[in-house]
C-alpha cells in the first residue's frame, strides 16, 4: 500500500487475483450453450454468480443483502454515522455466447476494492456499497438494466408482465423461477437520501482506448437506446408451387427494412447513431415454405436524444411503407426506451484527479453501450471508468478481450476515485 499526498491512501491490486475471479465467473455458463459465456437475466445461474459475490464479500467482513429486484449489495461501514453511501459495481448476467468481461470487470473491481480496503484497514467517512445489479442485459427480455431500473423506480411490479422471453416466460415468472419474489419488487427502489454517488468500472466495448493506446477512459455521456419490435404478416406458401409474382413474402419485406435501417443510420446526419436488427424470428422457418411471418427486433442508439427518437420514428415509417407496398401486414410494439445521460462533472473530476494522482493516462469518451449507471443517475451523481477492449473493441462475443493489467490499473483508479469522492463530497 502506498501513501500519496493527493488524497492519502492508494491500494495495489494484482492481475493474478483479477484473472482468477474473472475465470471463476466465466465458469458459470449454461451447459451446452455453445462458445463463450451464457448466463442470462433472472436465471438460477445468474443467482449463483451473485452467490459467489456474496460469499467473498461476507468473507471480507461486509454486510451483504439481496433486494427484491435481485440486486446484491455489500456494505462497508464509514467512520461518520448517518452519511449517504458511495457505491460501485456492475452486473453479472450476460448476453448469449458472451465474452468474460462485460459487467464482470466492474464487479471484480468492486470486490477487489472491498478486499483491499479491508486488508489495508482503509477508512472512509461514507459507507461504501458494492453492488451487483440483476438483469442488466436486454438480450432475454428486450429491456436492458431491469435491476437498476427497479432501483431507480423506472420499472415497477406493474411492468413485470409486459416483457417475455423467446419461450414466452414473463419477467415476473423468471424472477420467481430464480428465487426472487416479484410481488415485493417495489421495495427495491433506492432512496435518494441514502446515496451520495455511484461509480461503475466497465470494459469500453469499443476500440477508442485500445486504438489510441490509452489505458483508461472517463465517460462523458452514455448513449440512449430505443428498442422496438416489428411484426410482418405475409402468406406462407409452397416455395415450388408459388410463382414469384404471387408471393407475399414476410422475410423479403424484413430484409428490405433491415437494409433501409442500415442506410438511414449511415448517412451524414446520423454520425453517432447506431441502428441494429440483432434478432429476426422467421415463421415457419422451413426451407420449402415462403416465410409467412417475420418479427424484427430493432435497437436504435444515440448520444443525441432527439435524433435517437427521430431515427426510431423514421425507421418505423419507412418499414410501414415497405410493408404496404408489398401487401404485408404490419404491427410495431415499443420494447424499451432510455435517454442518453451526460455524466456529472463532479464525479468525472474525481476520476480525473485519481488518474492524475496515480499518474495514469486517460481520455474522455462517450459510451455507445447502455449501462446500469445510466439508470442510477436518477438516484445520485454517477460516473463511469472504462478499461480498454482489445480485438478492435469487440464485445457481446467470445472474442471480447481485456487484460488483467488494464483492469488492475482501473481498480486502483476506482479505489482512489471512491476515496476522493469520500473526502470531496459535501454531504454532512
In the complex, which residues of this chain contact ligand HGY (CB under 6 A)? 136-138, 144, 369-370
Question: Which residue is at the shortest CB distance from ligand HGY?
Answer: 369
Q: Please name which of 31, 23, 138, 125 lies closest in space to residue 79, comparing C-alpha atoms.
A: 125
> Closer CB to ligand HGY, residue 146 or residue 408?
146
Nearest approach in angstroms of CB 368 to ligand HGY is: 7
| Nearer of residues 13 and 338 to ligand HGY, judged by Cβ | 338
Beta carbon of residue 198, minimum distance to Mn ion (angstroms, whole number): 15
Task: Measure the CA–CA gap between 317 and 309, rounded to whole angstroms.
Answer: 12
Beta bridge partners of 229: 297, 333
Round to whole Å and give the CA distance between 13 and 9. Answer: 13
Work out what residue 308 binds among Mn ion, ligand HGY, none; the CB cut-off runs from 5 to 8 Å by kind: none
Question: Taking CB within 5 to 8 Å according to partner kind, which of Mn ion, ligand HGY, none is near residue 261?
Answer: none
Taking CB within 5 to 8 Å according to partner kind, which of Mn ion, ligand HGY, none is near residue 370? ligand HGY
Contact partner, 400, from ligand HGY, Mn ion, none, Cβ < 5-8 Å per class: none
Q: Which is nearer to Mn ion, 104 or 315 (CB)?
A: 104
Q: Is 153 left (phi over 0), alpha (psi -120 to 50) or beta?
A: left
| Beta carbon nearer to ligand HGY, 289 or 339 | 339
CA-CA distance, 185 to 68, in Å (whole number)? 5
Residue 204 interacting partner from Mn ion, ligand HGY, none (CB closer than 5 to 8 Å by kind): none
The DSSP-derived string for 20-37 is: HHHHHHHT---TT--SSB
Rounded Cα–Cα distance for residues 162 and 77 (Å): 38
Listed in order, strand segments (DSSP E) in 223-328 are 224-233, 237-238, 274-283, 289-290, 293-302
Measured from the CB of residue 115, what is the shortest distance to ligand HGY in angstroms? 26
Q: How far is the CB of 99 from Mn ion (least distance, A)?
A: 9
Closest CB to ligand HGY among residues 10, 148 = 148
The nearest distance, CB 340 to ligand HGY, in angstroms, is 12
At closest approach, how far in Å is the CB of 417 from ligand HGY?
22
Query: Among residues 84 and 103, whose Cβ is nearest to ligand HGY?
Result: 103
Element (H, E) at 16: helix 15-26
For 233, the grid coordinates are 404478416
Judged by beta carbon distances under 5 to 8 A according to partner kind, the member of Mn ion, ligand HGY, none in contact with residue 314 is none
**Total number of residues shown for the chain:** 428
Q: What is the DSSP letter of 168?
A: -
Q: What count of other Cβ atoms lies within 10 Å of the Cβ of residue 206?
A: 21
Pairing relationship of beta strands 341-342 and 63-66 according to DSSP bridges = unpaired
Contact 198, 373 (CB under 8 A): yes
Which is nearer to ligand HGY, 278 or 327 (by Cβ)? Answer: 278
Smallest gap from residue 137 Cβ to Mn ion (A) = 5
Nearer to ligand HGY, 134 or 328 (CB): 134
Q: Which does 138 bind (CB under 5 to 8 A by kind): Mn ion, ligand HGY, none?
A: ligand HGY
* DSSP code string of 28-72: ---TT--SSB---TTSHHHHHHHHHHHHHHHHTT-EEEE-TTS-E
The DSSP output letter for 191 is P
Q: Could you give the C-alpha distances from 246 to 41, 294, 328, in angstroms and in order?
A: 43, 18, 13
- Of 92 and 257, which has the nearer Cβ to Mn ion? 92
144 binds, among Mn ion, ligand HGY, none (CB under 5 to 8 A by kind): ligand HGY
Q: In this complex, which beta carbon is closest to Mn ion, that of residue 102 or of residue 249?
A: 102
Minimum CB–partner distance for residue 301 and ligand HGY (Å): 7
The binder of 302, among ligand HGY, Mn ion, none, by C-beta within 5 to 8 A per type, is none
Nearest to 200 by CA among 400, 386, 10: 386
Residues forming the site for Mn ion (CB under 5 A) = 102-103
Which partner from the list ligand HGY, Mn ion, none does 292 bind, CB cut-off 5 to 8 Å by kind?
none
Supply the minimum distance, in Å, between the C-beta of residue 111 and Mn ion. Answer: 16
* Shortest distance, position 105 Cβ to Mn ion, whole Å: 9
Amino acid at each position: 500500500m502506498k501513501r500519496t499526498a493527493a488524497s492519502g491512501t492508494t491500494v495495489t491490486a494484482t492481475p493474478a487475483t483479477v484473472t482468477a475471479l474473472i475465470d471463476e465467473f466465466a465458469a458459470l455458463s449454461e451447459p451446452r450453450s455453445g462458445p463463450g459465456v451464457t448466463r442470462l437475466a433472472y436465471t438460477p445461474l445468474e443467482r449463483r454468480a451473485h452467490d459467489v459475490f456474496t460469499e467473498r464479500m461476507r468473507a471480507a467482513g461486509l454486510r451483504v443483502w439481496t433486494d427484491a429486484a435481485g440486486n446484491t449489495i455489500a456494505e462497508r461501514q464509514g467512520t461518520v454515522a448517518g452519511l449517504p453511501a458511495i457505491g460501485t459495481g456492475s452486473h453479472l448476467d450476460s448476453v448469449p455466447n458472451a465474452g468474460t468481461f462485460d459487467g464482470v470487470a466492474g464487479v471484480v473491481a468492486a470486490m477487489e476494492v472491498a478486499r483491499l480496503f479491508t486488508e489495508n484497514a482503509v477508512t472512509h467517512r461514507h459507507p461504501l456499497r458494492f453492488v451487483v445489479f440483476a438483469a442488466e442485459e436486454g438480450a432475454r427480455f428486450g429491456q436492458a438494466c431491469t435491476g437498476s431500473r427497479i432501483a431507480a423506480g423506472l420499472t415497477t411490479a406493474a411492468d413485470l408482465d409486459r416483457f417475455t422471453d423467446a419461450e414466452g416466460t414473463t419477467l415476473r415468472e423468471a424472477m420467481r423461477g430464480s428465487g426472487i419474489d416479484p410481488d415485493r419488487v417495489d421495495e427495491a427502489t433506492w432512496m435518494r437520501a441514502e446515496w451520495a454517488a455511484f461509480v461503475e468500472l466497465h470494459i469500453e466495448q469499443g476500440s477508442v482506448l485500445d486504438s489510441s493506446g490509452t489505458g483508461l477512459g472517463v465517460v462523458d455521456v452514455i448513449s440512449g437506446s430505443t428498442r422496438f419490435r416489428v411484426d410482418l404478416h405475409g402468406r406462407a406458401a409452397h416455395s415450388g408451387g408459388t410463382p414469384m409474382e404471387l408471393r407475399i413474402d414476410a422475410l423479403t419485406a424484413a430484409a428490405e427494412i433491415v437494409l433501409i435501417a442500415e442506410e438511414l443510420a449511415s448517412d451524414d446526419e446520423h454520425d453517432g447513431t447506431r441502428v441494429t436488427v440483432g434478432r429476426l424470428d422467421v415463421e415457419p422457418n422451413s426451407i420449402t415454405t415462403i416465410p409467412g411471418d417475420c418479427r424484427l427486433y430493432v435497437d436504435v442508439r444515440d448520444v443525441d436524444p432527439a435524433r435517437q427518437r427521430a431515427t426510431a420514428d423514421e425507421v418505423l415509417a419507412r418499414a410501414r411503407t415497405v410493408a404496404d407496398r408489398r401487401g404485408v401486414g404490419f404491427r410495431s410494439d415499443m420494447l424499451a426506451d432510455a435517454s442518453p445521460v451526460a455524466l456529472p462533472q463532479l464525479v468525472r473530476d474525481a476520476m480525473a484527479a485519481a488518474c492524475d494522482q496515480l499518474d495514469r493516462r486517460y481520455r474522455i469518451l462517450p459510451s455507445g453501450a447502455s449501462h446500469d449507471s445510466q439508470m442510477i443517475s436518477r438516484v445520485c451523481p454517477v460516473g463511469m471508468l472504462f478499461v480498454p477492449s482489445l480485438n478492435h473493441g469487440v464485445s457481446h462475443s467470445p472474442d471480447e478481450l481485456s487484460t488483467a493489467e488494464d483492469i488492475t490499473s482501473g481498480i486502483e483508479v476506482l479505489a482512489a476515485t471512491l476515496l476522493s469522492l469520500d473526502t470531496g463530497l459535501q454531504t454532512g
